[in-house]
């Protein structure tokens, strides 16, 4: 038996329940990080080294959490990031996340390696709900082109090219669980025969093109009008290159600590990047400059984490595992509650630091001296 949903008071509570109720192999795939999982732990721990510098007496009666992310109005600046194999955690898979995202006016990033087919996830969309596509670039560019153009035709509003996974990381927890059921859990268009002897991650990665390079970016521009963002940027020099390459933004991310262990956390990189962009006059964006938005993901578990990222200059944050855990333990209602808890936490957090709107969050409200780049 598991606690009533109302007994989950924060995102970490869902993790504890999921760990108890999920199948071992599924838990291993969702919860694992690469190698010693140092980066995975650091992702959340890094937020603890940032302190607030709250303002008082600012009339915080009305708090507005709404903002926009690459042109999309959202109720709160987080999105459901792409996580593969939703049916490991819930028989209905990713559409469960789609429904909760609709209820809460949150964007969902659809993974290339979803368990549901892409069309099922799009068909589950309601009203003016917005979805983005996460792309693993196939060695066969004809397949990639087809995926991208189909996504655009079906109304996806953003293309997030994953750039931190030329080869999938070594997740030993996952390998030990000897995952054998991948074929039935993934219905993507990778089309390759897969090696299933080394865990879910390895089995599904064989088609990803390790030869992908900056030179490929113009080609993506030529095949789609969707905004293009690079997911998995990990240092400021590559943010500068991304601006030069005229993509629409980046996600500072280490793939939830599942790729290169001891890679830095997104929030740490953000603190390194933003002063450099400000010094170069690249942020805020100069008049007439093309759009460039910076997101982070990894280890976001509290609304205070979201607030810190926005203060430092992020447009929004991605959240992965917590929604998988909420979905696995309680289905759509669980994901909905997780989102509502974040909204409640965020409203309170904003009030307590003295900010009424997302626009009022700025670096002056945080003390980053505890970070390497602080
Ligand atoms: C991921 N992530 C991921 N990223 C991606 O670009 N393509 C993918 O297929 C997946 N799959 C995936 C599966 C699982 C189970 C997890 C936990 C993560 C990475 C994901 O988009 C994001 O970067 C992290 O999940 C963010 O960290 P948190 O919120 O999980 O700590």
pLDDT (tens digit per residue) in 72-101: 999 999 999 999 999 999 999 999 999 999
Q: How confident is the model at residue 188 (pLDDT cuts 50, 70, 90)?
A: very low
Nearest CA to ligand 1 atom 1: 83
Nearest CA to ligand 1 atom 6: 162
Q: How confident is the model at residue 179 (pLDDT cuts 50, 70, 90)?
A: low
* Å from CA of 133 to ligand 1 middle: 13
More confident residue, 200 or 39: 39
Residue 255 among the catalytic residues:
yes
Nearest CA to ligand 1 atom 13: 83
Is a pLDDT exceeding 70 seen at residue 21? yes
Q: Is 162 in the pocket of ligand 1 (CB under 6 A)?
A: yes
Q: Is 177 in the pocket of ligand 1 (CB under 6 A)?
A: no
Beta-strand ranges (E) seen in 33-142 are 51-52, 67-69, 72-74, 78-80, 107-110, 131-135
pLDDT for residue 191:
40
Q: How confident is the model at residue 241 (pLDDT cuts 50, 70, 90)?
A: very high
Among 69-78, 193-202, 304-313, name the one with the lowest average pLDDT.
193-202
Q: Which residue has the tokens 């008082």?
A: 56
pLDDT for residue 63:
98
Is a pLDDT exceeding 80 seen at residue 152? yes
pLDDT for residue 194:
44
Nearest CA to ligand 1 atom 9: 84
Which of 41, 45, 79, 84 for a ligand 1 pocket mutation test, highest count of atoms within 8 Å of Cβ? 84
Please say whether the beta carbons of 115 and 85 come within 8 A. yes
φ/ψ of 25, rounded to 5, equals -65, -40
Q: How confident is the model at residue 184 (pLDDT cuts 50, 70, 90)?
A: low
pLDDT for residue 186:
53
Is a pLDDT exceeding 90 seen at residue 249? yes
pLDDT for residue 190:
45
Is a pLDDT exceeding 60 seen at residue 298? yes
* Å from CA of 152 to ligand 1 middle: 22
The torsion region of residue 256 among left (phi > 0), alpha (psi -120 to 50) and beta comes to left
Catalytic residue (choose from 255, 261, 297, 305): 255
Catalytic residue (choose from 29, 30, 79, 136): 136
Q: Which residue has the tokens 């209602």?
A: 333
Q: Is 188 in the pocket of ligand 1 (CB under 6 A)?
A: no
Torsion of CA 83, 90, 206, 199, to 10 degrees: 110
How many CB atoms are closer than 10 A to CB 105? 17
pLDDT for residue 204:
66
Q: Is 134 in the pocket of ligand 1 (CB under 6 A)?
A: yes
* Å from CA of 45 to ligand 1 middle: 18
Is a pLDDT exceeding 90 seen at residue 113? yes
Cα–Cα distance, 45 to 55 (Å, whole number): 25
Q: Is 350 in the pocket of ligand 1 (CB under 6 A)?
A: no
Among 201-210, 238-247, 278-287, name the one with the lowest average pLDDT.
201-210
pLDDT for residue 296:
98
Mean pLDDT of 156-166: 97
Percent of the chain scoring above 90 in pLDDT = 89
List the structure tokens of 160.
Answer: 């997030």
Q: Is 169 in the pocket of ligand 1 (CB under 6 A)?
A: no
With 0.90 as the threshold, say if the pTM is over it: yes
* Å from CA of 167 to ligand 1 middle: 14
List the structure tokens of 13.
Answer: 């509570």
Atom of ligand 1 nearest to the CA of 112: 9
Q: Considering only CA atoms, which of 159, 175, 185, 179 is closest in space to residue 93?
A: 185
Which of 320, 328, 338, 339 for a ligand 1 pocket mutation test, highest count of atoms within 8 Å of Cβ? 320
Q: Is 33 in the pocket of ligand 1 (CB under 6 A)?
A: no
Q: Is 298 in the pocket of ligand 1 (CB under 6 A)?
A: yes
Burial 195-211 (b: 16+ CB within 10 A, else e): ebebbbbbbbbebbeee
Is a pLDDT exceeding 50 seen at residue 57? yes
Catalytic residue (choose from 44, 79, 164, 261): 164
pLDDT for residue 373:
75
Is a pLDDT exceeding 60 seen at residue 196? no
pLDDT for residue 1:
86
Is a pLDDT exceeding 60 seen at residue 197? no
Mean pLDDT of 312-327: 98
- In tens, the pLDDT along 340-372 reads 999 999 999 999 999 999 999 999 999 999 998
φ/ψ of 124, rounded to 5, equals -80, -5
pLDDT for residue 119:
98
pLDDT for residue 195:
44
* Å from CA of 355 to ligand 1 middle: 30
* Å from CA of 146 to ligand 1 middle: 23
pLDDT for residue 6:
98
* SS3 state at 238: helix
pLDDT for residue 372:
87
């Amino acid at each position: 038996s598991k606690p009533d949903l109302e007994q989950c008071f924060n995102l970490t509570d869902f993790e504890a329940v999921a760990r108890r109720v999920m199948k071992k192999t599924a838990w291993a795939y969702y919860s694992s990080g690469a190698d010693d999982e140092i980066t995975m732990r650091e992702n959340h721990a890094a937020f603890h080294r940032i302190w607030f510098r709250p303002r008082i007496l600012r009339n915080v009666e009305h708090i507005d959490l709404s903002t926009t992310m690459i042109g999309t109005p959202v109720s709160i600046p987080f999105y459901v990031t792409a996580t593969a194999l939703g049916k490991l955690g819930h028989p209905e898979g990713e559409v469960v996340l789609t429904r909760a995202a609709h209820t809460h006016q949150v964007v969902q990033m659809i993974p290339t390696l979803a368990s549901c087919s892409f069309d099922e996830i799009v068909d589950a969309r309601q009203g003016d709900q917005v979805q983005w596509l996460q792309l693993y670039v196939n060695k066969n560019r004809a397949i990639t082109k087809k995926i991208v153009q189909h996504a655009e035709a079906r109304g996806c509003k953003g293309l997030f090219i994953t750039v931190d996974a030329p080869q999938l990381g070594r997740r030993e927890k996952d390998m030990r669980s000897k995952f054998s059921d991948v074929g039935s859990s993934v219905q993507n268009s990778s089309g390759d025969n897969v090696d299933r002897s080394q865990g879910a991650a390895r089995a599904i990665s064989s088609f990803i093109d390790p030869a992908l390079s900056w030179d490929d970016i113009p080609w993506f521009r030529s095949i789609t009008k969707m905004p293009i963002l690079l997911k998995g940027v990990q240092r400021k020099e590559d943010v500068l290159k991304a601006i030069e390459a005229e993509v629409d933004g980046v996600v500072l991310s280490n793939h939830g600590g599942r790729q290169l262990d001891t890679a830095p956390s997104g929030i740490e990189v953000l603190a390194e990047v933003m002063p450099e962009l400000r010094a170069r006059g690249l942020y805020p964006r100069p008049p007439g400059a093309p759009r460039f938005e910076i997101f982070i993901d990894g280890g976001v578990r509290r609304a205070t984490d979201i607030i810190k990222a926005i203060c430092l200059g992020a447009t929004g944050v991605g959240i992965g595992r917590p929604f998988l855990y909420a979905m696995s333990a309680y289905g759509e209602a669980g994901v909905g509650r997780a989102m509502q808890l974040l909204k409640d936490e965020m409203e309170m957090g904003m009030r307590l630091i003295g900010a009424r709107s997302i626009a009022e969050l700025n670096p002056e409200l945080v003390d980053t001296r505890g970070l390497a780049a602080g």
